[in-house]
Amino acid sequence: MKKIALVTGSTGGIGTAISSKFVSDNYRVIATYSSTEYYKDSIKWFNQQNFSEEHVRLFRLDVANTTECLERLTSLLKEEGCIDIIVNNAGITRDSVFKKMSAKSWYEVIETNLNSLFNVIQPLFGSMCDKGMGRIINVSSVNALKGQFGQANYCAAKAGMIGFSKALAEEGAKFGVTVNVVAPGYTSTPMIKKIKSEILESIKYKIPMKRFANPEEIANTVSFLASESAAYITGATLSVNGGLYMQ
């Protein structure tokens, strides 16, 4: 039986790399997209990646919606039998200097990047504990660790992920459920294309490796944490940031 991995935000830059890596690791992937509005795009994505329905199931899930997550993930669990691996990868930015930050920008980021952990994990965690095996991997950010001008909302949410993961790691440990964080640095995805080119260049200049990460480099770390080789790692935060921030 293939292990089943739920990957949120699977159609984005890092999400695509994680989904592809998991397919090559021989997992069945439940690839989420956020709303019916993106259904056609997600089908296009599925076809572009040459995925088959045996390996990848597209699944609508608004990770910011508590009621929807409870209902849809409870059904999913019944249909699939179990979920072995959860990767909370869905994330958004609403960058702005704090003086100008709207409440909407604050709450959207907290809901999608942090409240989503409750929404997605809570309906599935009990079954992982009952099975005596599970892997939860939360995708945070270098900016959770170092802070970033213009990202008070994002840094708050992504740092919240780390505290949450340590607490849940304690609860999951005796059941064989590990909970870890991957903290990517600036990665070549559509997300960083929103940053003005001169600001992006100044960020690249500060990275000791003088380049952004490839999404595959983040996916490889997620894959490792999902594997049997990482069975004794829990509550950890693995940085993949080219040296931009060293703990």
Question: Under DSSP, is residue 137 helix (H, G, I), strand (E, B) or coil?
Answer: strand
Question: Under DSSP, is residue 57 helix (H, G, I), strand (E, B) or coil?
Answer: strand
Report d(CA 181, CA 162) in Å as an integer.
7
Choose between 42 and 151: whose C-beta lies nearer to ligand CAA.
151
Quote the tokens at residue 208: 């000791």
Q: Is 212 in the site for ligand CAA (CB under 6 A)?
A: no
Site string for ligand CAA, 67-96 (x = CB under 6 A): --------------------------x-xx
Choose between 91 and 123: whose C-beta lies nearer to ligand CAA.
91
Question: Under DSSP, is residue 92 helix (H, G, I), strand (E, B) or coil?
Answer: coil
Out of 154, 186, 205, 245, the active site residue is 154
Q: Is 141 in the site for ligand CAA (CB under 6 A)?
A: yes
Q: Which residues within the stretch 96-125 sit at the binding site for ligand CAA (CB under 6 A)?
A: 96-97
Question: Under DSSP, is residue 62 helix (H, G, I), strand (E, B) or coil?
Answer: coil
- Which of 47, 17, 63, 66 is CA-nearest to residue 240? 17
Catalytic residue check, 154: yes
Choose between 27 and 164: whose C-beta lies nearer to ligand CAA.
164
In sign, the C-alpha dihedral spanning 35, 40, 45, 50 is positive
Catalytic residues: 154
Contacting positions for ligand CAA (CB under 6 A): 93, 95-97, 141-143, 148-151, 154, 186, 191-192, 195-196, 199
